[in-house]
Structure 1
């Protein structure tokens, strides 16, 4: 795996996200209220809105634009979307968040 640092863990508060581009791939890194980090495709596959402002709750992220929910671990849609959200592996090392977009 080839992980790329995308920022310090302190840059992303629990319940928020950060948009980044890694090797030409636009992604969002989200931090759950429990402190877990998740990386996924930037745009909701249902309507193309950025997931950075999504509501993170109960292991899912909800698109702020129209309410489609996706599992943070698998990217599988919960409702009303039908297509999954691309998920990327995340690694925390020495206080930094790193993502592998080639996995």
Structure 2
């Protein structure tokens, strides 16, 4: 599988995140946080904190990172690298904007 429609650009304002579930080529569901940083930059990362199994999409978006509301770990939106208490990165997925459509490729994640 390749890029698939995740949401519309109108669905997410600056410094907001949205939880979506997308499917890999082998039909595995993947929870993804679609994030629009405060500067308008778009990102797609795994939607689970690697420390506390909390939805990252419910956290605060600020300065290129998203905060897990469970224990305040922050995950870099570009690399997935966390701050303590989390120690494991979250996957980062390729994202593309096509007119008003946000497209994500969950088959080719990257990690720090």
Q: Do both share a fold (TM > 0.5)?
A: yes
Structure 1 unaligned regions, length at least 5: none
Question: Helix, strand or coil: the match of 1:27?
Answer: strand
Q: 1:75 is matched with which residue?
A: 80
**Counterpart in the other structure of 1:11:** 11
Structure 2 length as normaliser, TM-score?
A: 0.87
Following TM superposition, the consecutive aligned residue runs of length 4 or more in structure 1 with deviations greater than 3 angstroms are none
Report the RMSD for the aligned CA atoms in angstroms.
Answer: 1.2
Alignment of 1:63-102 (within 5 A): 63-102=68-107
Structure 2 residue runs of 5 or longer lacking an equivalent are: 24-28
How much has 1:78 moved relative to structure 2? 2.2
3-state SS in 2 of match to 1:78: coil
How many residues get paired?
103
